[in-house]
Amino acid sequence: MGQIQISNVFKIFGPRPHSVMEQVRRGVSKDDLLNDTGHTIGVQDVTLTVEPGQCTVVMGLSGSGKSTLIRHINRLIEPTAGEIVVEGQNILELRGRELEDFRRQKLSMVFQRFGLFPHKTVINNVAYGLDIKGGSKAEKRANREKARHWIGQVGLTGYEDQFPSQLSGGMQQRVGLARALATDADTLLMDEAFSALDPLIRREMQDQLIELQENLQKTIMFITHDLDEALRLGDKIAIMKDGAIEQIGTGEEILQQPQTEYVRRFVEDVNRGRVLTAGTVRIECKIVRTDTAPGEALRQLGEDDLRVTYVVDANGRLVGAVTAASLRTGERNNVQSVDSLAEDVPTATEDMVLEEILPMTVGEDIPVAVLGEEGELKGILPKDTIIKALAEEAQLTGPADR
């Protein structure tokens, strides 16, 4: 289902690209090549795997070659050298009808300035990828039904017979998205799809894409110049500069372990609270079983009144937390086990981002507990840990398993 393997792809623009390949492989600089030979490097030795069912984001500033790269995958642009394999098929071997069929079946694309057909109504735009395959009148009617379905999916029901010029930018891009989804292609190429939209609409469209993706599990290659967008959408992010890939990794890897100076400067301004998750920032904590006696728990914990231990049941699931102070009270009153002393604590799941967790800590002395899927305690998030992580001082902590 839709794996894309890009291997050592080069794209050189100019009158005789192949004649300068040797120099480019030797690593001549972009400026030297331009001055000496009049050729520019669009894409330089890019190797990238787009995993099926995932959203791979290619991020870079304008001129970094990202839009050039994505156009190689449906061969709107031909590479100068390299190999591109989609679903086990080397697409650079496709000719004429084969290439058309490949584009019709396997891929669809969403464009920055939408690329809608201004002379067609919304429904005919959405059905375009289907109509183009030809077919009988009955099939054309079925295409209309399918188009109607996808118009509904992107929330444009009622606008079927409008023309693109009658819609707002956000609505036009919904049409673009519906058109791409309607063909049932496994792979979606999105070239700066939301960049032309207002920030609020962009956010809305990102949410919609995330929601659709949960059900559809398409293979998405998404191009953007917006790091926040990349971090929101990408299962994997590739950062490009001057036609080459600087770093590939998950959003958190790129934030926490930038491999080059360029990437580091790039991630400096990112709102880390939106990206770092409880799962990566959490630290280990003291735990006691529910049947432990308060005195025993107290000994494990030490004397400080402010210290806290977390109570878990036999399966490791969180029951609550007890402070040293209440343990001492319990001990004095001869309470049998810590079970009855446990108080509720704020909890977060591993995939929650710090921005969501931060409000929970307000006015709360006990650190937030981080829980796994079954409610098992994975670790905790004290306030200072959260603040350190946000201030880019935290080192990536290893998993704090019990």
Interface residues with other proteins (CB under 8 A)?
14-16, 19-20, 36-38, 71, 74, 76, 100-105, 107-109, 111-119, 128-129, 132-133, 163-165, 168-169, 172, 179, 183, 189
Residue 13: phi and psi, rounded to 5, are -100, 140
Which one, of 81, 98, 91, 96, lies nearest residue 46 by Cα? 81
**Which 8-state DSSP code applies to residue 303?**
S
d(CA 50, CA 86): 9
Q: For residues 189 and 312, which CB has a smaller minimum distance to other proteins in the complex?
A: 189
CB of 394 to other proteins, least distance (A): 43
**Residue 38 CB, nearest approach to other proteins (Å):** 5
Minimum CB separation from other proteins for residue 216, in Å? 18
CB nearer to other proteins: pick between 189 and 341: 189
Q: How far is the CB of 126 from other proteins (least distance, A)?
A: 11
Q: Which of 20, 3, 208, 368 is nearest to 11 (CA)?
A: 20
We find the least distance from the C-beta atom of residue 187 to other proteins, in angstroms, to be 11
- Complex with other proteins: residue 115 or 273, whichever CB lies closer: 115
Q: How far apart are CB 40 and other proteins at their closest, in Å?
A: 13
Q: 112: Cβ–Cβ under 8 A, 6 or more apart, which residues?
A: 67, 191, 192, 193, 195, 196
Q: How far is the CB of 131 from other proteins (least distance, A)?
A: 9
Between CA 184 and CA 104 the distance in angstroms is 10
3-state secondary structure of 343: strand
Of 103 and 232, nearer to other proteins (C-beta) is 103
- Within 10 Å of residue 283's Cβ, how many Cβ atoms? 14
- The CA-based angle 365-370-372, given to 5 degrees, is 155
Between 122 and 230, name the residue whose CB sits nearer to other proteins: 122
How far is Cα of residue 97 from the mean position of the Cα atoms in its chain?
Answer: 34
State the residue for tokens 């071997």.
93
**Separation CA 115–CA 133 (nearest Å):** 19
Pull the structure tokens for residue 116. Answer: 């809608």
CB of 110 to other proteins, least distance (A): 9
Choice between 17 and 258, CB closer to other proteins = 17
Alpha-carbon distance of 401 to 285, in angstroms, equals: 10
* Residue 124 or 280 with smaller CB distance to other proteins: 124
Q: From the CB of 12, what's the least distance to other proteins, in Å?
A: 13
Closer CB to other proteins, residue 169 or residue 346? 169
Spatial CB neighbours of 207, under 8 Å, sequence gap ≥ 6: none
Q: Note whether 108 and 74 are within 8 A (CB).
A: no
Cβ nearer to other proteins, comparing 15 with 398: 15
The rounded distance, in Å, linking the Cα atoms of 341 and 335 is 8
Closer residue to other proteins, CB minimum distance, 36 or 268: 36
And the tokens for 119? 């002379």
Query: How many residues does this entry show for the chain?
Result: 402
Name the β-bridge partners of 317: 376
Shortest Cβ 160–other proteins spacing (Å)? 15
